[in-house]
Amino acid sequence: MNKPNTTGIISVILVYGIIFSEFYLFMFYFLPAYNAKYGNIAIFIGIEFTILYSFLHFAYFQAQKQSPGHTPKDLVKHYHQTTLEEIKARTKKHSEILQKKRKQQFNKRFELQEEEDEILQLFTNLDSDIIQSIKLVSFCFKCDNIKLPRTHHCKECGKCILRMDHHCPWVNNCIGMKNHRYFCQFLFYALSCMLQCTGFIVSDIWFHDAFVLSELNGNQKFLCQICAATCFALNVALGTLLGFHLYHIGQNVTTVEFHIEEMKTDNPFKKPLLIDNFKELFGEKFIYWVLPIKEAYKNELPRSDLFEV
């Protein structure tokens, strides 16, 4: 059993502290002052902001608590012993190939010019083997279990994660097949809330000579200005991160796979239509794209290499 991740727990508490403080300052400091200056329109702004904030919290909770997807513990029992030994041997071979490729890349700069064609041919052959290893069922010697395609072992969680993207300390969980959608929705709703905080407060300061903030006392006005500055910094960070993930989803590549050089030139998972790449992760129905509600996943596993009795 893994020990509690203290760093992850502290990170989650910090995230909750930031988003709650931003919500409190905007709802209970800025909006009452906005209401005093512009009337009941502030009520509708508050309702809309609260809805976004609720979705933010629910998506964040789902990203934390939803399992990213794990290989079934008894999956190895479904494989014939002979087939299992073949998978283990293939896994070791592909591991050696990957190490060889990395070594060749490291040593390439020291090779003579006339040997470049030979090296290029070697790289091409190794690239093909590496892509093949990503597409096939392999074996995890740490979990002593089968690794389905696109599955990776997380050293933080101590488990194999289906379609693993990365381990995120800010949600204290791995991001994988079953919670990557919630993670992206959390980023989207957090960005929406932070943009709103920044937009209203900064526009009041720059374009209206602090017309709304003049209703507040010195400390309240200072806290609202800190809120706007913090939200602006978070907008840049969250916007960049969300764009990074949406681009990868559109390319049907995970963060782990993005760092595999061979995937950048020969991605076997990318579908011809952009929307189909998004559907693979977000679901067929558009409601799952925008709302952080749980979708029923089919309990289906690839039958390749399986021994059927």
Residues designated as active site: 168
Rounded Cα–Cα distance for residues 210 and 68 (Å)? 46
Long-range contacts made by residues 96-99, C-beta under 8 angstroms, separation at least 24? 97/126, 97/129, 97/130, 97/133, 98/130, 98/133
For the chain, the straight-line distance linking the first and the last C-alpha, in angstroms and rounded, comes to 33
Q: ∠ CA(236), CA(241), CA(246), 5° rounding?
A: 125
**What radius of gyration, in Å, describes the C-alpha atoms of the chain?**
25
Rounded Cα–Cα distance for residues 16 and 167 (Å)? 19
Q: Check the CA dihedral 266-272-274-280 and report its sign.
A: negative
Q: Decide: 245 and 183 in contact? Cβ < 8 Å.
A: yes
Output the six-digit token pair for 88: 């283990």
